[in-house]
Every structure is written in C-alpha cells, then in structure tokens.
Amino acid sequence: MMLGFARVLSLAAMITLLPSLTLAAEGGIGERVRRPYRLRTIAGVSVVDTPLIRAAEMFARQHGDDFTYNHIMRSWLLGTLLIQHNETLRETIDLEVHAIATILHDLGWDRSANSSFVSPDRRFEVDGAIAARDFIRSHKDGKKWDARRLQLVWDAIALHTEPKIALFKELEVQAVNVGIALDFGIPAPGVTDEEYAAIAQEFPKDDFKSRFNETMIWLCQTKPTSTYGESN
C-alpha cells in the first residue's frame, strides 16, 4: 500500500518551496474580499471564529474519534500559523475556506455504523470532500457561499494526500495540504518548536503513528480497490 502521506513524508523539500509557489499561483480565487472575522484563541493561536466554523468543529467531533479530532485541530492550527507568518498568504487566503476544509478533511474516516459518508468504492478523500460540501450546503451560512468557495473546499479535501498536485493549486488548497503535512512532522518556515509544542499539548498526538496505521488498515479492509496503490 502506498498512500499519499506515506509519500508526503519524503517531500519535505517541496514544503520549503511554498513561499515561491504561492507567489507563482496566478489568480488564486479571483477577486478577494477581506472579511472582518471575529477571532478567538486556541492553544495560543489566533483563529477566525464564525458560526460555520464552530458548526464544522462540532460536526467533525461527532463523526470522528479523539485521534481524528486532535489531528484535524492540530492541522488547522498549524496551517493557520503558516498563514500568519507569511505575508502573501496572510493577505490573500480565504481564512474561513481554509478552516472549514481543514476541519472537515477526514470525514472519510467516519467509522460509525452505516455512515452516510463512507462509500464502498471511492477514495476516502473524495468521500470527505463530498460530505464537507453537503455539510456547507446544509448550513444557513453555508447556503450563502458561492460555487467557487465550495469548489476550493472540495479540492482541498480531495487533494489533501496529493501534494504533487495540491501544491500547484490555489493558495487555500496549498495551505490546507501543508498544514496537514505539518502534523506529520514535516518542518515548514514560520512554525516554531514552541508553537508546535503548545498545539500538541492541547491536542495530544498520543499513539499517532499506530492510530494512523490502524486507520489505513481499516480503509484497506473497507474499500480495497480505492485504497491500495491509488495515491502517488
């Protein structure tokens, strides 16, 4: 089995290219509107605070175990730090899109009985992307989203284990990909050891490797044709 994050661990050099890749991204999401978001602090990190983000956190918590929830929260906070420490990203990324996509990126790991998210034949990333899009469309604030923002969330989740593609997509897609990679221990400019440790203390990485391996085994058993050898 060779999944994307088995390979992303060998792609640390690509992560260091992120600042130049973001500058090279043409157009991004088009005309960007800076929204006056409220803020809150989690594990020492200042993050945007909207009803949709809060609902996404609750939704992810309902459909994931402690391991999954801690992973997605660490990924969001690490990605947020990456954005905050990079002027280009800070001034251009849609922070709500980044938050929602990262928080919901592993809905395809939902192991609840008769989960409506998990298909027998699609890759888990696609299951998660579809579930996240449906969640946004069902929320009163998400109903106001345009097609472009929905597509960014879908792409960011569907490609989150494909850095060779995601790192050449829109800035939001790139940031989601790298934030998740950071939780796998890949260093990136702008995130200090102290910041990383504070996040890990709030959302522990207990038995991370073994729990991740268990999840991959479950996917192989649940949907072998869309798990084995499908990522590069």
Model pLDDT for residues 212-228, shown as the tens digit of each residue: 999 889 888 888 888 77
Examine residue 209 and state whether it is found in any structural domain, yes or no. Answer: yes
Domain assignment present for 28: no
* 99-115: average pLDDT: 93
Task: Give the chain's mean pLDDT.
Answer: 85
Q: Is residue 170 part of a domain?
A: yes
Which pLDDT belongs to residue 81?
95
Dump pLDDT digits (tens) for 136-164: 999 999 999 999 999 999 999 999 999 99
Domain assignment present for residue 26? The answer is no
For residue 16, the enclosing domain spans 4-21+40-226
Give the count of domains, the chain: 1
Binned at pLDDT 50, 70 and 90, residue 53 comes out as: very high
Q: Is residue 68 part of a domain?
A: yes
Does residue 153 sit within a domain?
yes
CATH number of the domain residue 55 falls in:
1.10.3210
In a domain, 232, yes or no: no
pTM recorded for the entire structure: 0.86
Does the pLDDT of residue 166 top 80, yes or no? yes
Whether 31 maps to a domain, the answer reads no
Q: With helix as H, strand as E and coil as C, how does the chain read?
A: CCCHHHHHCCCHHHHCCHHHHHHHCCCCCCCCCCCCCEEEEECCEEEEECHHHHHHHHHHHHCCCHHHHHHHHHHHHHHHHHHHCCHHHHHHCCHHHHHHHHHCCCHHHCCCCCCCCCCCCCCHHHHHHHHHHHHHHHCCCHHHCCHHHHHHHHHHHHCCCCHHHHCCCCHHHHHHHHHHHHHCCCCCCCCCHHHHHHHHHHCCCCCHHHHHHHHHHHHHHHCHHHCCCCCC
pLDDT at 175 over 70: yes
pLDDT at 22: 47
